[in-house]
Structure 1
Amino acid sequence: MVPESVLAVCAANVCRSPVIAYLASCRLRSAGFVTPPSFASAGVSARGNVAVCHTMRSRLAGSTGWDAFATEHRSARLTASDVENAELILAATADERGAVALLRPDARTRTFTLLEAAALAEHAVDRGIRGVAVEIAALADTMNAQRGRIEPPQPGRWQRLQGKRADFDIPDAHTSRARHERVFDEIDSASRRWGAAIATLTSPR
């Protein structure tokens, strides 16, 4: 049997997607996945063989398993094979979600941005859905069934002044340390929301 797998995707694969992969794996374990699926990450424009960025390494330093994960990680460019082998794909932005679909159009139903996945899982909880199988494919199907039922969050005033529109994106933030920190906080918050919703969805009816 091929093990269940989750793929995290961003642009360079040195910041957002490694952290999404690590935190999402932690949340699934907390949600009751006795044997968590394998996690991988890749970047749609990754140069390859680049380590995790310093800001993300420092924010998670000391977390269980993170130091070894970050030490071993080297960026890799996204391939069609990566997409084909993943049962669930969590992208940082809609652009990167679209890049996944260009490689494998059949992956659309199992590809979400992380913020979108959290919102869709929460919507399923609000609808009273319970008893979802503790399997990645079942979770992807449940989230996909909620598409079209939710609206993206409206940006705050400062974000609107910068031209940001309502979306489910966690954009790149290598332009400043402060923005970098906010990106980490967004990933952390979204992964916690997603994990909490999954724990409820997979609870008995």
Structure 2
Amino acid sequence: MRPTVLFVCVANICRSPVAERLFELRLADAGFGGSVEVASAGVRAIDGREMAPESQRTLVERGGNAERFGSRICDTELLAHADLVLTATRGIRSAMLADTPQALRRSFTLTEFVALAEEVVARGPAPEDMASLIASCAMVRGSVPVPEPDIADPYGKAPKNYDLAAEQIDDAVTRLAALLGPIVA
């Protein structure tokens, strides 16, 4: 069974769908397409909404595809199925964990997890599977500096805010694909 990565934001129409689609694309670009089940959800989502138009635009500009996307609520069943949960912000992570505290050890902000995983791999030896990498990241949480742990919500703001969020997400998921791809393939 393929490991599952779940991206979470507030409404699942801006940051988390961009992360979902770009991560799938970056895994494929690195030769690891299909090796990870990728999903997204929102802590206050309404099921079935389309991605925000500006998020669609910035996703397509980065080579992604916004077709056939429908938002969904982040519930306990979805969280129980996910091997790794990556949120847009610390606040979203806290809100999610208030309802599902058992997801703590496998929940991080996206940028936090990438920084922790890069540090774990650099210290060596590199973990042999995703579960080991996640466990190692949970152990070093708080001891590795994360310059920008949150990705600001662009919803309702100028297009440049969507571009900035997508740029941060693309950088993080590209690095994440390079880290996870080899250990899940």
Shorter chain as denominator, the TM-score bin is: 0.7 to 0.9
RMSD: 2.4
Q: Which residue pairs with 1:195 in the alignment?
A: 177
- TM-fit CA distance, 1:126: 2.2
TM (normalized to structure 2)?
0.86
Structure 2 portions without partners, runs of 5+: none
Query: Are the equivalent residues in 1 in contact too, given 2:32–2:181 (CA < 8 A)?
Result: no
Counting matched residue pairs gives 183
Provide closer, same or farther for how the CA distance between residues 31 and 142 of structure 1 changes in structure 2, counting only shifts above 3 A: farther
- TM-fit CA distance, 1:189: 1.0
Distance 1:39 1:45 in 2: 19
Structural mapping, 1:126-205, within 5 Å: 126-133=122-129, 136-153=130-147, 167-174=148-155, 175-198=157-180, 202=183
SS of 2:140 mapped into structure 1:
coil
- TM-fit CA distance, 1:76: 1.3
Structure 1 portions without partners, runs of 5+: 154-166
- TM-fit CA distance, 1:143: 2.1
Provide closer, same or farther for how the CA distance between residues 140 and 32 of structure 1 changes in structure 2, counting only shifts above 3 A: farther
Provide closer, same or farther for how the CA distance between residues 131 and 4 of structure 1 changes in structure 2, counting only shifts above 3 A: closer
- TM-fit CA distance, 1:146: 2.2
Query: Are the equivalent residues in 2 in contact too, given 1:83–1:100 (CA < 8 A)?
Result: no
- TM-fit CA distance, 1:21: 1.3
1:76 equivalent to 2:81? Answer: no
Which one has a bigger Cα radius of gyration?
1
Q: Could you tell me which of 101, 105, 115 is aligned with 2:101?
A: 105
Query: Are the equivalent residues in 1 in contact too, given 2:58–2:162 (CA < 8 A)?
Result: no
Among all aligned residue pairs of Structure 1 and Structure 2, give the percentage whose two residues are the same amino acid: 33
Query: Are the equivalent residues in 2 in contact too, given 1:83–1:103 (CA < 8 A)?
Result: no
